[in-house]
Amino acid sequence: MTRVQARETARDLLEIIPLVMRTVAAELRAAGELPAPAHFGLLSVLSERSRHLTELASLQGVSLPTMSNSISSMVEHGWVRRTAPEGDRRVVVIEVTAAGRAALDRVARAAEAHLSEVLADVDVPARRRLQAGLGVLRKVFAARRGQIVAASRNGHRTTVKRRPYVSP
């Protein structure tokens, strides 16, 4: 892909992904499933493993006070809990609770149901093209996600060498 094509594709993604997410978030809010869309993303991240408050703020690109407010709201819902490892109150670790996992599962099922209704009328050839494109995105971003998270764990952002995507 040329740089011009990559830029055009990036513009398309930046237009389409927020449209999809706004549609899903509006449906979930209307169904009473999600008080704040950011909570779904945080629950997803925390369902992988517990994280420090500073790491969550860095991953989400928000300030520490903003992340602390989001976590406080999620604690009130019973979705996450704050812990201090080995009694060190200076370090705060956030972990998802059973109620948080259940909320995440409920929201994921509701989002999937909504998207499946929206996509139900897509014809088979278009669905195959869409699936193929999503496969490309999954591969490209799954590789980068692991690199970015690894680079941010020590608190420092570093440039990570990209590996080009090669289709199978």
pLDDT tens digits along 132-145 = 999 998 898 887 66
Residue 106 and residue 67 share a domain: yes
Query: Which value, to the nearest 10 degrees, does the dihedral of the CA atoms of residues 140, 131, 115, 111 take?
Result: -40
| Tens-digit pLDDT string for the chain (168 aa) | 899 998 999 999 999 988 888 888 888 777 776 667 678 888 888 999 999 988 998 888 889 899 999 999 999 999 999 988 776 677 789 999 999 999 888 888 888 888 999 999 999 999 999 999 999 988 988 876 655 444 444 444 443 344 444 444
> Residue 71 burial by CB count (10 A; 0-12/13-18/19+): exposed, middle or buried?
buried
Residue 96 and residue 17 share a domain: yes
- Distance of alpha carbon 164 from the chain centroid: 23
Q: Which ranges of 78-123 would DSSP assign to H, the alpha helix? A: 98-119
Residue 103 and residue 24 share a domain: yes
Residue 115 and residue 142 share a domain: no
pTM above 0.75, yes or no: no
How many domains in the chain?
A: 2
Within 8 A by CB and 6+ apart from 33, the residues are 106, 107, 110
Question: Which residue range forms the structural domain that includes residue 26?
Answer: 3-121
Residue 113 and residue 38 share a domain: yes
Residue 101 and residue 154 share a domain: no
What CATH number does residue 16 fall under? 1.10.10.10
- Report whether 92 contacts 56 (CB < 8 A): no
Residue 20 and residue 58 share a domain: yes
Where b means 16+ CB within 10 Å and e means fewer, 36-45 reads eebbbebbeb
